[in-house]
Amino acid sequence: MHEMSLVEGVLQIVEEAAYSQKFSRVKTVWLEVGQLACVEKDALRFCFDAMMRDSIAAGARLEIIDVPGQGRCMQCSTSMPVAALYEACPQCGSYQIEVTGGDGMRVKELEVE
């Protein structure tokens, strides 16, 4: 389950932000999660609750913002939404699609005290 290591990274970001910005508690964490990031959201929520339990973000709410996948065909240069990896280009049928968005995860915002 790689979601646990992802949440460990989120906790590190939260702790570094708390140290540099001098806040004492995190109430809400907003995460942008790409549709193509291969992240299981239920597992992410479970790991988040477990990992944050004894931290500055104990009891914090996790808000997940879905980011749609985006791609560009390397044959005809068409930009398109991409719902899954290895889809064909709707314009020319090529499978040479370069993913240009929606394949990552990032902390977008924190609500703190």
Give per-residue pLDDT as tens, 57-74. 999 999 999 999 999 999
| Cα–Cα distance, 1 to 3 (Å, whole number) | 5
What pLDDT score was predicted for residue 80? 96
| CATH at residue 101 | 3.30.2320.80
Give per-residue pLDDT as tens, 9-60. 999 999 999 999 999 999 999 999 999 999 999 999 999 999 999 999 999 9
Give per-residue pLDDT as tens, 69-104. 999 999 999 999 999 988 999 999 999 999 999 999
Element (H, E) at 41: helix 41-52
What pLDDT score was predicted for residue 85? 87
Domains contained in the chain, number = 1
Distance set, CA 81 to CA 58, 78, 95 (Å): 37, 10, 14
For 28, the domain range is: 3-112
